[in-house]
Amino acid sequence: MRVLSGIQPSGQLHIGNYFGAMRQHLQLQAENECFYFIADYHALTANPTPADIAQHTLDVAMDYIALGLDTEKTVFWRQSSVPEVTELTWLLSCITPMGLLQRCTSYKDKVAQGLSPNHGLFAYPVLQAADILIYKSDLVPVGADQKQHIEVTRDIAVRFNNNYGKILTVPKEHIIESVAVVPGVDGRKMSKSCGNTIGIFEPQASIRKKIMRIVTDSTPVEQPKNPDKCNVFALLKLVASGDELAEWENRYRSGGMGYSEAKKRLAELMIDYFKAFRQKRTELENNIDYVRGVLASGAERARAVAADTLAQVRQAVGLRK
């Protein structure tokens, strides 16, 4: 089964990205044909500086490779290295009803968050549809917040096939069920826009400092505490063994434990969890040519598929040579 997903190079990736989606992406490699891209076209909707988008793209590439992306099996590339996707975006735009885009909540949400309302942001779902359809993807793993965009993609694909013949593969959604909502240091869902993240590969001293600042309630040390409502315990669930987690739960409910103890242990476990990945990440930082080569090779493989799909679409709509 062909699986496709993309991630925007919008800043440092954090543990919420990893436990929320990246880990599942990497697990899907074992039994599927995976196509994963760095969505730099999409990132432009937020008007990043040229220097930032270039560096963030390399950072995302290094992060994925360090965390276990199979560079031989998985097709991994920079979105903008396959210009065919932008032509397909235009062709799909010409059959996409305005009402379909106007109903998309993501645009309204991002404008409400302060992003400038530009056409790229509004037409984002059509570019996303082109990303998916040009590679004839069977399965698209997304978070629940992206479910509507997959529905839009399916609508566009069905509309195209009804007009021009069955050319495009209508993808199935695969809603990623994260282990839990990963809380940020302030208790809200971890998000770069909230500034409450813990970076996967940020300096260890910084990780410790952030974890010690995680918001907890004011329950005195001697009193029992509810682990189900504790941000620290929610993060312990991600990195502690089953036996250790059970011990911590017992200590929470028994009382006599301060949150600082749990925070110190969480920092140790979090740093240890990513230790081997961090070593690989350092190696990649010292071999940027290798990283660029992985992206170039992936783009060549992706472009071969994209060019074939686009040729079929052009023929179908009447753009014959």
CA-to-CA separations, 13 to 55, 60, 248, 289, in angstroms, rounded: 13, 7, 28, 21
By percentage, how much of the chain surpasses pLDDT 70? 98
> What average pLDDT is seen over the chain?
93
To the query of whether residue 225 is one of the catalytic residues in this protein, the response is: no
Average pLDDT over residues 150-154: 93
- Work out the pLDDT band at 180, boundaries 50, 70, 90: low
Per-residue pLDDT band at 194 (split at 50, 70, 90) = confident
For domain 2-181+287-317, give its CATH number from 3.40.50.620, 3.40.50.970, 3.30.70.1230, 3.40.50.1110.
Answer: 3.40.50.620
Domain ranges of the chain: 2-181+287-317, 202-273
Instruction: Specify the DSSP element, H or E, that contains 175.
Output: strand 172-175
Distance CA 229, CA 181 (A): 12
Residue 179 clears pLDDT 60, i.e. is over it: no
Residue 189 designated active-site? yes
Query: What CA–CA distance (Å, rounded) separates 57 from 37?
Result: 10
CB atoms within 10 A of CB 274: 20
The DSSP element (H or E) to which 13 belongs, if any, is none
Q: What share of the chain is helix, strand, coil (3-state, %, to 5)?
A: 60, 10, 30
CB 177 within 8 A of CB 183: no
pLDDT at 86: 97
Contact present, 215 and 184 (Cβ < 8 Å): no
Q: What is the pLDDT of residues 233-271, one digit of tens each?
A: 999 999 999 999 999 999 999 999 999 999 999 999 999
Domain 202-273: homologous superfamily in CATH: Tyrosyl-Transfer RNA Synthetase (1.10.240.10)
Q: Could you say which of 73, 108, 172, 189 is catalytic?
A: 189
Q: Output 215 or 193, whichever has higher pLDDT.
A: 215
In this prediction, residue 178 carries a pLDDT of: 53
Phi and psi (nearest 5°) for 142?
A: -140, 160
Catalytic residue among 192, 237, 264, 280: 192
pTM over 0.75: yes
Strands (DSSP E) along 30-99, which ranges? 33-38, 75-78
Token pair 């309302």: residue: 117
3-state secondary structure of 2: strand
* pLDDT one-digit tens code per residue, 19-71: 988 999 999 999 999 999 999 999 998 889 999 999 999 999 999 999 999 99
Number of helices (H) and strands (E) in the chain: give both, helices first: 16, 5
Residue found by looking up tokens 């968050």 in the block = 113
Structure tokens at 55: 């560096």
